[in-house]
Structures are given as structure tokens and as C-alpha cells.
Amino acid sequence: MIENKKSLYRTYRPSTFKALAGHKNVVDILVKQLKENKISHALLFAGQRGTGKTSVARIFAKSVNCSNLIDGFCCETCENCLSANNNSAPDIFEIDAASNNGVDEIRGIKNNVATLPVLGKYKVYIIDEVHMLTKGAFNALLKTLEEPPAHALFILATTEYAKIPATIVSRCQTFNFQKIDKKSLKDRLKLICKEENYLISEEVLDEIFYLSEGSLRDALNILEQLMIVNNTEINIESLKAIFYIATKHEKIAIIESIIKGETEAIISYFEKADGQGMDFDVFALSLIEIIKEVIEYKLTNNLEFLRILEIDDLKVIKEASLESMFKLADNLSEAYAKTKGTTVNFNYLLISLLKSVGTVEQKNQANQSDQLVEKTAEINIEVEKKQVAEVKTTVNDEIQNSNSNVTVSQKQTSVTEEKLHAETKIIEKTETKETEKVSKVDVEVPERKVQKIEKSTDEKERIFEDVKSPVVTLLSELANLQSLEILKNSNQEAHSVEMSNIINLLVGAKKDLRDLIENKISSWFKTEDGTKLVHPEKAALFSPFYKVKVVAVSNKEVLIRCDDIAQAKLLCLKLENKQFRQLIFKEFNKEFVIYPIDENKWEDVKIEFKNLKVKNSLPSYQEINVTDYYESLAKDKLEKTLNDDLIEGAAKIFDLEEIEIGE
């Protein structure tokens, strides 16, 4: 006899709102409608597959007919609830529009809807995959959906909201079902594993979340496959054997290879993984999450942010610069966004990581080089403090002091020789693989033969040409100032730059003004002889502008492109400060509205501008009032702060954890 085995997603389909995973916002609204008996006659549930649209529809259909509702939740004991749980409720009609999508089926509903319900108060019609209805069927449904009998309730569910006619959408109360959040999905899987007597590791749960892309049904199907091949414990190796995903150790090893510049190891791993059928979409997502934790830890030094990683996993990774980790995350995100679900994801992801190798390696080398230069500078200062009485050159790697009757130039030469000695000692101490890549002094150690004293000081100074100039340290400090500013303001909310404002600026852009503003910003960070900043005070004050690109300038507006979204946010926050703006306006000799955007938004702007131009729909340039613009920003921020304070105060008064305000 064949046993009728139910899938996990059917066995553990939730029967009450309390058993649902996620969708708290949707549940709260529906429960409130039930409590206050203010039930909408037509609901539209839209969202990706496997997020619970049909389950919520069934629970709501059961709840509206429950004869003993308790605070908006069905009792599960009355006749209506029991019949609904057994799929035998006479007043609930579930229709699959994928196979019943014609006009005749909708006419059947219209004829049936007029009759009264058998047991409950409502006749509920659940139309799944409603976007599959034909145009004629939608037209036939319109009048019934707009003015149904008082006892009729329609629940429409779709995975393709864009295909629903606007005439249908306008007659429904719409609920958007987002992907199930990670915590809710993992908690649900843990509960099911416990019920089925299986042990499952956190690493496996994380990987199932990535594989399912927030779909609980997909996650349960994956879990069911794992239960078939395992007896009582589900580990990462069994998951890897079925779906070929990378283990945490492998992902950390890849990041370490990027930091160390081990391109061969990266290529070898990818080629092997591609041959075994790895899902590179999942791989990219999990790499991004690991890098996110690294960045959080580097910014805060707080172990509480490490949920995937442990402190031992950070031995190599934490040596990488914060800027290089941001760049790596950008490259991975771009690769994932461009190639998700395509056949080129393997190639593009590999290329993006190899591109990151150079970036990360250069940043790390720059950090090490800066440290070397700083140490060298300290020793040079000490050497120059010495009172050199005399000097004598030898050929035995020794610089000896001679009698005090030496010329000023000879004294300078002696200082140079001692500098060279100090440089050599530092390089000997830091003679590791990484340091060799960063800086090499053009001398022989320890068999170097010292140049004769008669050679000019200029000739001797050429020995130091390969050593980074002190300006590197100064510019590095500017980048560090930026990072500290970003960290300090990370919890603040900045205003967003509207696309319409940027398009308006581009329409009225003037090249001569752009060159003027770009030259002015560049002058703040100008260096003299490659050794010092010409305007160190301005460079420090305007450090948020360091390395920005002036894209376009109109009579009243400046568009600035930043390296990343963090710098763009920092500039937006700084520009909200009136005193900071006045200092900039003084530098520009004119008031401007400044729009800081990141690279990704700039790409979107170019696409939008091109589309408008092709359609001949570009707007006429409208000159903006600078004072009004920034006063409007300040007013909006003040209103939001007051609203937030009001909500927080109300929450304390009523002893509520969370208050949600509708539109």
C-alpha cells in the first residue's frame, strides 16, 4: 500500500496567525480588522513565491467565520475552525487561476456569490495566482469585486503584481509580502527540526537561508532533502554534498587569499567549484555577509556583532584596511546584482574578486608603507638632533665621526649618511614578504659600500627616491579623518538627493563653472614638493570632500560623485550644518546647493537622463533657491525628530514596545 506522505511545507503549514513566520506588519493589520470587525471586502496579497500568501489567506478566511474570536485570533475549537482545518469548510472557495482563468469560471463565481453562506458570516473566495486570469476574466470580475454582497469576501494572491490591471488593484486593499527575514526563517526551521527529532547546525541554517532567498517553502524543501540523507544530525558537509555550497572555512580562506594577493589560489578554487556545480549566487551573498561582519567589528571592536564569524576567524582578515573591505563589498555586490540567476555569474564573480585583489593589496601595502615612513621620520629627527662634530667616509659599512673642522655641507652629508643607516636598519627589521613589495631601498645590505664624501648631497639623496614621501602619510590621515567622521555619524539619518533635482542640474550644467569648482576643491588638498600640504587647515576642515569628483555644475547647484555611499551620506550630513555650508560658500565665492551621490546612483542618473533624452522628455532648467532648499531640509528633519519623539513618548506612556503609524 502506498503511503500518502505529505511534504514538510504542507505538514507544517501554519493554521493560526501566531504560528506564522515573519510578516508582523501584515498580521497586525489583519488581526486589528478582525478585532474591530472592520473587514475589507477585497484583499490583494502580493509577493515572491513561498512567503506565505496562501497560508495567510486561509487563516484569514477561517478567522472571519470563527464563532469565538479571541482578540482577533481564531479559537481553533468551533465548527467553522475545525471544518476549515480539514479543508471541508463550505463557505471557503479556493480557486487556482493558473488552470481556471477564463470568463466562464468568473461567471460561475458571480452566480454563486449571491447565495448566503452555510455556516459562517462570510463566503470567502481565495483566487491564487490571480495574474493568470485573462483580460476578459478580469473585466468580468470588476463589478463583483467593486460591489460584492455584504456576505462576500475576496482574497487575491499573486507573485507578479505588475501584471494585475490597475482597475483591479484600485478596488483592493493591497498587502506586500516581503521575503521572510533571516531570524524568522531560521527559528521556523529549528522548530520543525525539533519536531522531527533532528539536530541542525547554525551554519547549515545560514546556508539554507541563502539558498532559499527568503522563501520558507523553498527552505523546507531543502530541509526535507537533507532529512532524507541524514539520520539524526544535519551538518554542513551533507548540505555541501547535495547543493555544493562553500563552507565557512572556504569562504574565509578566499577572503584571506584576496588580502594576501594569492590569485592562483582564488582561480584554482573557483575552477574546481564550477566543475562541481556550485551556486555562485549563494556564494556571493554569504561572502558579503561575512565582509559585513568584518567591517562592523573593525568599526566597533565589538564581538557582539560577530554572528557568523568567531574571533579566531579574523586573524588575517582584521589586518586588512577598512577602505579595502568596503571596496571588496562593493565589487561583490555589483557582481551579484548584475549576474544573479545568469550563466555568467561564475566568470563575472571571479573577475570581480581578482579585481579586488589589486585594490585590497594596494591598500594594505599603503598602510604598511605609511607605517614604515612614519618610523623612518621619527629616527631621522633623532639623528638630526645630534651634534655632528666631524665626519669621515669609509668603505667598511661604517660612518665614523671625524674632527670638528668640517663644512656645513659635510655636516649635511653626514646627516644624510646616518639617515641611510637608519633606513637600512628599518628595512632589515621589516624584511617580510609584504614589506618587500611595499618599499625597497636601493642599497646593498649588509655589504653596501658607502659613497665617498666628495659626492654631492643631491646624489646621495637620490638613494631615497624609492621611499614614499611624507605626503603619503598626510593624505592617509585625511582618509582616516573621513573614516572617523563616517563612524561618528553612522547612526544619523541624512537627507536623500532627489533624482528630479539632479536631472534639473544636468539640464542647466555649465562646463566653465564645473572646472572652477573642481579646481577649488583640488586646491584644498594640494601638496608642495610632494612633502607637505599647502593648506593643511583647509584639508582637515574639508576632509569629507577628499577624493570626490565634481560631475556637473549649474548656476545654483553642484553635483559631486563620491567613492561610496558612506562618503555621500557623510557629505549630506555635513551640508545640513549651516556653518559648514557658509565656509564652503566663502571658498566658492557663491552659494550652491550641493548634491553628493555615490557611484551606483550616478549610474542610475545616467540611465534616467538618457531615457528622458531619447523620449525628448527632458524638463526645462529651473533655477533653485539655495536658502529655501536647505531650510526645507532642516524643517523636514525637525518634523521627523518631533514625530519620533512623540511616538517614543506615547510608547512609554502606554508601555508598548513598538508603535506603527499608517499613512
For residue 95, the model assigns a pLDDT of 87
> What's residue 645's pLDDT?
59
For 213, the grid coordinates are 532567498
Domains of the chain: 8-178 (3.40.50.300), 183-243 (1.10.8.60), 248-363 (1.20.272.10), 386-468 (no CATH), 485-624 (no CATH)
CA 303 to mean position of chain CA atoms:
20
- Sign (positive/negative) of CA torsion 458, 461, 465, 469? negative
Query: For residue 232, what is the enclosing H or E element?
Result: none
CA distance 143 to 171: 10
User: Can you read off the three cell numbers belonging to residue 330?
Assistant: 562593493
Q: For the sheet containing 593-597, what is the strand order?
A: 549-553, 557-561, 593-597
Map residue 594 onto helix, strand or coil. Answer: strand
In sequence order, the β-bridge partners of residue 45 are 157, 175
Q: What is the pLDDT of residues 571-620, one digit of tens each?
A: 898 898 899 899 999 999 999 999 999 988 898 899 888 888 888 888 88
Distance from chain centroid for Cα 138:
40
How confident is the model over 331-352, as pLDDT tens digits?
888 888 888 877 777 788 888 8
Q: Residue 249: count other Cβ atoms within 10 Å of its Cβ.
A: 11
Specify whether the CB–CB gap between 209 and 179 falls below 8 A: no
In this prediction, residue 432 carries a pLDDT of 44
Q: Which residues in the chain show pLDDT less than 70?
A: 1-6, 358-485, 487-491, 530-531, 640-663
Say which residue the cell 521556523 belongs to. Answer: 188
Let me know: does 72 contact 31? Beta carbons within 8 Å. Answer: yes
Q: What is the pLDDT, as a whole number, of residue 375?
A: 47
pLDDT the model gives residue 506: 92
Q: Which of 521, 539, 630, 637 is nearest to 578 (CA)?
A: 630
